[in-house]
Amino acid sequence: MPEGDTVWRLAQRLREALTGSPLTRCDLRVPRLATVDLTGRGVLDVIPRGKHLLTRFEGGLTLHSHLRMDGAWKIYAPDERWRGGPAHQIRAILGTAEHTAVGYRLPVLDLLRTAEESRVVGHLGPDLLGPDWDPSEALRRLLSAPERPLGEALLDQRNLAGIGNVYKCELCFLLRASPWLPVGQLPRPERVPALAKKLLEANKHRAARTTTPWGRRPPPFERGGGSRPDRRLWVYGRAGRPCLRCGTGIRTADQDPAAEERVTYWCPACQPDRPDARPADRPVTHTN
């Protein structure tokens, strides 16, 4: 699932492609919007809100979309071949004379009044990359359920908006805390909002997300020079590989059995578990 930094970059690209010219084409391929035609309206802005996208049009209308696991917006030049998937997966087409934005496999697509955007994003906590960022409020929300496991609290967009499974795993590692540690037992919990903000800000302009300090210099416990993708992240996607800090094998488990795609990665040495909360390991699979 795209995380806050990815959605922020996508909003930037959509804004650059669509604003400044009226729509010459509009095709919303979901039943409840089948008769909607926004042709002739200009796109005023594209706003990222956590993992949500709000495309605002003249006339006080907003197209709300969410990518979830498989959705994507692709931008094409007039003569460029569309490559985002087969035609039956297209859910939205927004075109100007210069660019066409095509939404593939969008599980969420709604049209609402701009004045009513809070109806779809009002439940979200402070946005890590948004103008409403408030670390004190984010911390208050995180600690409102002190018994909740840290990993679950980080993924709850009602606490702070923009963290997905990658940043959840990386943040827990950098905090040297087990994802199963009750958030109320975390030493210096005020570090969480600050560190989360720092990571997303550092990556919002990067195509390849990086949370480690290594560029071309190899980290300890791994030999061979040069930059490699599996050194960009501390634990995520490194099941069975040595921890980049201590060399212990990275472990995986399902933190939320209802969401199998959210596999938790952690180092059992750098992030010791409570004995009564240690989950069963997943089979080791190399995913990067």
Output the CA–CA distances (angstroms, integers) from residue 15 to 94, 97, 101, 108, 264, in the order listed: 12, 15, 10, 19, 34
- 147 assigned to active site: no
Burial of 135 (0-12, 13-18, 19+ CB in 10 A): middle
Helix/strand/coil percentages in the chain, nearest 5? 25, 20, 55
Across the chain, the runs of DSSP E, i.e. the strands, are 25-28, 43-49, 52-57, 61-66, 72-76, 90-95, 100-104, 108-113, 251-254, 263-266
Q: Spot the catalytic one: 3, 168, 170, 238.
A: 3
- 51 assigned to active site: yes
* Selection from 121, 106, 151 nearest residue 262 by Cα: 151
Q: Spot the catalytic one: 9, 51, 91, 245.
A: 51
Q: Spot the catalytic one: 15, 168, 204, 262.
A: 262
Contacts of 101 (CB under 8 A, 6+ apart): 14, 17, 18, 73, 74, 75, 76, 92, 93, 94, 95
Residue matched to tokens 């569309």: 82
Is residue 108 within 8 Å of residue 70, measured between CB atoms? no
- For residue 200, which phi and psi values (nearest 5 degrees)? -70, -40
Q: Spot the catalytic one: 2, 48, 149, 189.
A: 2
- 262 assigned to active site: yes
Q: Pairing relation of β-strands 25-28 and 90-95?
A: antiparallel
- 278 assigned to active site: no
* Selection from 267, 256, 229, 223 nearest residue 1 by Cα: 256
* Selection from 253, 219, 223 nearest residue 234 by Cα: 219
Catalytic residues: 2-3, 51, 262
